[in-house]
Amino acid sequence: MRFPLPGLHDSETRQKDKIYYFTKQFNFQTTKMFMNSKKELLWQSRFSLPFDRDALLFSSSVHVDKKLYREDIQGSIAHVTMLSEENIVSVEDAAQIIAGLREIEEELSGGSLLPQWEDEDIHTVIENRLKEKIGAVAGKLHSGRSRNDQVATDTRLYMRRQITELQVALGGLLGVLIEKAECYHKTIIFGYTHLQRAQPISAGHYYLAYFNMFSRDRQRLHDLMKRVNISPLGAAAFAGSTLPLNAERTAVLLGFDDLFSNSIDAVSDRDIVIEFISDCSMIMMHLSRFAEDLILWSSYEFGYLEISDAFATGSSIMPQKKNADIAELVRGKTGRVYGNLMAMLTIMKGLPLSYNRDMQEDKQPLFDSAETTIGSVTIFAKLLEHTKLKEERLAKLTAEDLSLATEIAEYLVRRQIPFRDAHRITGKIVTWSIASDVTLPNIPIEKFREFCDAFEPDIYNCLKADVSVNSKKTHGSCSFDSVALQIEMARKEL
């Protein structure tokens, strides 16, 4: 009997796994089952004593790397196909191995085969099961291949899939942003600096700012894919192999664009993992900033935006509460991904070439970052889709706000008054407006002229939010025409 893990699709947290498996609170029967196991680890033939039980429990990674079973089987099929084509393994043996691997994939995906702690990692689970199914022929699969280049290949295949999935999720979010920008491109909101009302802008301009952020994120992932989609298979442990392997062939079979140029680097490189988590951190940072806006704007104090009840929660004690919990969770999960990035940088910072067992610890940060970021982007797109701006309230607030003060200063500049003087004059007008509780559009022309005789009645044309927005003439500005052009460009990009 063997000591089983939970099924491949269990949703138990890592913390629960650690508590259950890495403490010594095993009952007597479980310990007896483990000690009576006769299974030998793949590398154990050189040693005279069996691997210590607690050492195996500590070093086992199967509870994490079980996620790689599809990639591992995919890489093994490509490897044995190449071995048969190079006459290292017979065609008949290769066919038997491939058939067995496909059956194992079905068993793992269906849950009839559960990874075992004593098998150490998912690669050993598959190899041991293959031996049970087809006997000694299974041992030929590992010809010319090390666990080092095998794991490096699996990792790149996994990353390739996750990058593609993340790009698709970002595409969905970008689509929602374009829809929001188009829907609200003539809605005027406050633009903020220092979290203070600054100038009125088109709401579409605001949404397109985030479009640009997430568009850059997708570009970074596209660029990263060029470095990820390189095959390390054939590097063996780190020095290559004496067998006539055809690394170019396995690269083609696995859909890689290129082949490693240095066998040491092929098995010891984790730059791509660090870069991927860095890209995930950037995406999460952008999501977190956006989430902060939604949280603030949906609050009673701001009241600019309404989140659908389907994406909000209440309080267990305060019946009036409507909380932006999904946005808050996205903001909170950002810290987890940042932590994964620091973990990877720390894991790699002192490792000599080439492979070291420390690198086993790259999987958990990688998997968590990928899943957290994909999940966050996907749910945030749905959340955003189910938000609405409170247009009537925004129209009332922007019509008489001090955020039109810059228009007064620029009005004076157009009358040949130096900007610094215009800025000083406008500042005094704002001070009087606040002290007198008179909004800028309601200041009498006589009062304006007390501050500067350059004012004419046409100043009131500038003190309208829509006029202010549409008066912006520079490239990429917030005018309705500029935003419409940006939307068109965004659609073409997407």
Identify the H or E element spanning 190. strand 188-193
Neighbours of 121 (CB within 10 A): 25
Residue with tokens 């609170």: 25
Residues present in the chain in total: 494
Neighbours of 8 (CB within 10 A): 16
Angle subtended at Cα 51 by Cα 45 and Cα 54, rounded to the nearest 5 degrees: 165
336's tokens:
């987890």
Q: CA-to-CA distance for 175 and 169, rounded, in angstroms?
A: 10
Examine the residue annotation and report whether 315 is marked as an active-site residue of this protein. yes
DSSP-assigned beta bridge partners for residue 387 = 307
Q: CA-to-CA distance for 376 and 490, rounded, in angstroms?
A: 22
Q: CA-to-CA distance for 295 and 302, rounded, in angstroms?
A: 10
67 contact partners, CB below 8 Å, separation of at least 6: 122, 158, 363, 367
Set 48, 194, 316, 475: catalytic member: 194
Torsion region of 236: left, alpha or beta (phi above 0 gives left; psi -120 to 50 gives alpha): left
Set 59, 90, 109, 315: catalytic member: 315
Cis peptide, bond prior to residue 354, ω within 30 of zero: yes
- 3-state class (DSSP) for residue 202: strand
DSSP-assigned beta bridge partners for residue 389 = 305
Residue type for position 213: M
Q: Contact, 376 vs 330, CB < 8 A?
A: yes
DSSP-assigned beta bridge partners for residue 319 = none
479 contact partners, CB below 8 Å, separation of at least 6: 202, 469, 470, 471, 472, 473
DSSP-assigned beta bridge partners for residue 189 = 201
Examine the residue annotation and report whether 369 is marked as an active-site residue of this protein. no
Q: Contact, 190 vs 401, CB < 8 A?
A: yes
Residue type for position 339: G
Q: Which residues are catalytic?
A: 194, 315
